[in-house]
C-alpha cells in the first residue's frame, strides 16, 4: 500500500493553503471530489480581504483573520496574485448604529487593527459619493483579491514542493492504525487505498459528512451543520463607488454590502437565508429586499440595473449567536494525526494562510 505523510481532503482555498504549507516539509496528497478545485464556497464569495474588525477577542476568527490578512498580502506580492487594497467604508445612520460603529472600533483595536479612521460627516461624500450616512469608519487595509488566481498560486506552490493534487477523487472513509490512517478513496470510479500519518479534513460544506466516515472518531465531536445561503445581485452600469461600502453587521452576516471586483464591477450581497439542502439556486423574488437594504445607504440606486448574479453557502455550526472556526486536533478528539475543520465561513478566504500555519504547527 502506498504510504505518505499527509492526505488533505478538499481543494477549496483552505485545503489548498494547508496542503501548500505542509508540503514545505512533508509528502502531501490533496484530493478533490469535483473535476475542478474551489467550486464550492471558495468561488462563491465576496473576494474581500477582511481587516479583522468585528470578531470577538480571543476567537480563532480574530486571530487568524488579522494574521491571515498580513500573510495574504505578502503571498499576493510574491506570487503575483492580483489584488487591490481598496479600503472600506462602514456606515451608520442612526444613534444605535453609531454606537455599534463605536463598539466595532474598540473591537478592532483589541484585535490589533490599528489603522481604522473615523470619517467626519462632512467627509463621507469624499470617500463615498451619494452614500447616505451620519457616521462612518474607514478601513484602509481591507482589500479585494482574485480568488481563483490565489488558488492557482497555492497549487503552484504545492506542486513545486513535495505535494500532489488529484481531482475527481473522493474521500470515502478512514480507519485508524498504530501510526496513522488507512484512507479509502474513489479515484475516477476506481477504489484506491493508501496509508497516511496525518489526515486533514478541510471538506467545507461536506466536513461533517467526511468526519462521520472516520471509523474511530466519536460522533459527539462532529458539530451540527446548517446551510446559510447568501446571494448577490450585480449592478449593470456606471456607479460612484471607489471603496467597498458596508452597513453595520447583522446577526448571521455582514449585511447587504457593496463590493467591487478587480474589473470594477459593482455587486451587492450576500443576504442570509437558512436552507435545508445544498442548493445554489438564486431567487429573483429577493430583489425587493435588496433594493430596500441598498437604498438605506445609497438612495440613488437605479433598481432596473440590479440583476441576480450568484449565491454561496455559509457552513454554519449554529443558527444562533456568533460562531467561531472549529479546528479540532487530537487534543480535542483523541485521534492522533487527525485534524477536522468545521464552520470555516467568512473570513475563511482571508484567514486561509493563517489557518494553514495553525494546522502546520499541530502536525509537527
Ligand X SMILES: Cc1cc2nc3c(=O)[nH]c(=O)nc-3n(C[C@H](O)[C@H](O)[C@H](O)COP(=O)(O)OP(=O)(O)OC[C@H]3O[C@@H](n4cnc5c(N)ncnc54)[C@H](O)[C@@H]3O)c2cc1C
Q: How far is the CB of 271 from ligand X (least distance, A)?
A: 9
Sheet holding 143-145, edge to edge: 48-49, 143-145, 83-84
Cβ 87 vs Cβ 142: under 8 Å: yes
Choose between 15 and 247: whose C-beta lies nearer to ligand X.
15
Give me 21's grid cell. Answer: 504549507
**Minimum Å distance from CB 283 to ligand X?**
14
Q: How far is the CB of 69 from ligand X (least distance, A)?
A: 9
Cα–Cα distance for residue pair 279/294, rounded to 1 Å: 25
Nearer to ligand X, 235 or 342 (CB): 342
The closest of 316, 320, 314, 340 to 219, measured between CA atoms, is 340
Complex with ligand X: residue 272 or 363, whichever CB lies closer: 272
Binding site for ligand X (CB under 6 A): 9-15, 31-34, 38-42, 44-48, 50, 170-171, 202-206, 210, 230, 270, 312-314, 344-350
Least distance to ligand X, CB of residue 177, Å: 20
Cα–Cα distance, 156 to 30 (Å, whole number): 13
Phi-psi region of 69 (alpha: psi -120 to 50; beta: other; left: phi over 0): alpha
Q: What are phi and psi of 248, to 5 degrees?
A: -70, 150
Q: Which is nearer to ligand X, 197 or 267 (CB)?
A: 267
Q: Which is nearer to ligand X, 135 or 269 (CB)?
A: 269
> Residue 6 is inside which H or E element, if any?
strand 2-9
Report, in Å, the least distance between residue 201 CB and ligand X.
8
- 27 vs 32, beta carbon nearer ligand X: 32
CB of 355 to ligand X, least distance (A): 8
User: Are 139 and 66 contacting, i.e. CB atoms less than 8 angstroms apart?
Assistant: no
Q: Residue 329 CB, nearest distance to ligand X (Å)?
A: 17
Question: Residue 23 or residue 346: which is nearer to ligand X going by CB?
Answer: 346
Q: Give the span between the Cα atoms of 220 and 203, in whole angstroms.
A: 18
Q: Do the beta carbons of residue 194 and residue 3 sit within 8 Å? A: yes
Amino acid at each position: 500500500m502506498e504510504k505518505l505523510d499527509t492526505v488533505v481532503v478538499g481543494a477549496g482555498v483552505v485545503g489548498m493553503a494547508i496542503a501548500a504549507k505542509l508540503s514545505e516539509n512533508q509528502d502531501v496528497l490533496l484530493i478533490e471530489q469535483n473535476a475542478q478545485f474551489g467550486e464550492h464556497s471558495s468561488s462563491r464569495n465576496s473576494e474581500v480581504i477582511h481587516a479583522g474588525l468585528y470578531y470577538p477577542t480571543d476567537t480563532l476568527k480574530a486571530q487568524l483573520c488579522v494574521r491571515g490578512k498580513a500573510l495574504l498580502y505578502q503571498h499576493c506580492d510574491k506570487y503575483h496574485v492580483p489584488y487591490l487594497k481598496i479600503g472600506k467604508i462602514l456606515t451608520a445612520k442612526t444613534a444605535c448604529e453609531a454606537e455599534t460603529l463605536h463598539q466595532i472600533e474598540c473591537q478592532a483595536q483589541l484585535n490589533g487593527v490599528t489603522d481604522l479612521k473615523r470619517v467626519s460627516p462632512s467627509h463621507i461624500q469624499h470617500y463615498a459619493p451619494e452614500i447616505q450616512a451620519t457616521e462612518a469608519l474607514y478601513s484602509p487595509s481591507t482589500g479585494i483579491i482574485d480568488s481563483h488566481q490565489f488558488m492557482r498560486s497555492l497549487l503552484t506552490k504545492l506542486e513545486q514542493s513535495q505535494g500532489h493534487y488529484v481531482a475527481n477523487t473522493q474521500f470515502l472513509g478512514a480507519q485508524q492504525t498504530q501510526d496513522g490512517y488507512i484512507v479509502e478513496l474513489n479515484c475516477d470510479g476506481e477504489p484506491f487505498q493508501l496509508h497516511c500519518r496525518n489526515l486533514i479534513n478541510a471538506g467545507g460544506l461536506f466536513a461533517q459528512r467526511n468526519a462521520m466516515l472516520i471509523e474511530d472518531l466519536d460522533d459527539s465531536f462532529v458539530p451540527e451543520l446548517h446551510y446559510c445561503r447568501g446571494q448577490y445581485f450585480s449592478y449593470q452600469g456606471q456607479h460612484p463607488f471607489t471603496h467597498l461600502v458596508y452597513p453595520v453587521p447583522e446577526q448571521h452576516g455582514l449585511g447587504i454590502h457593496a463590493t467591487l471586483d478587480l474589473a470594477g464591477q459593482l455587486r451587492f450581497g450576500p443576504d442570509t437565508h437558512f436552507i435545508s439542502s445544498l442548493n445554489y439556486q438564486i431567487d429573483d423574488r429577493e430583489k425587493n429586499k435588496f433594493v430596500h437594504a441598498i437604498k438605506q445607504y445609497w438612495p440613488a440606486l437605479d433598481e432596473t440595473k440590479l440583476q441576480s448574479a450568484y449565491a454561496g453557502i455559509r457552513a454554519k455550526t449554529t443558527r444562533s449567536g456568533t460562531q467561531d472556526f472549529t479546528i479540532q486536533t487530537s487534543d480535542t478528539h483523541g485521534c492522533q494525526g487527525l485534524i477536522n475543520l468545521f464552520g470555516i465561513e467568512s473570513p475563511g478566504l482571508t484567514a486561509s494562510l493563517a489557518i494553514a500555519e495553525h494546522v502546520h504547527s499541530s502536525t509537527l
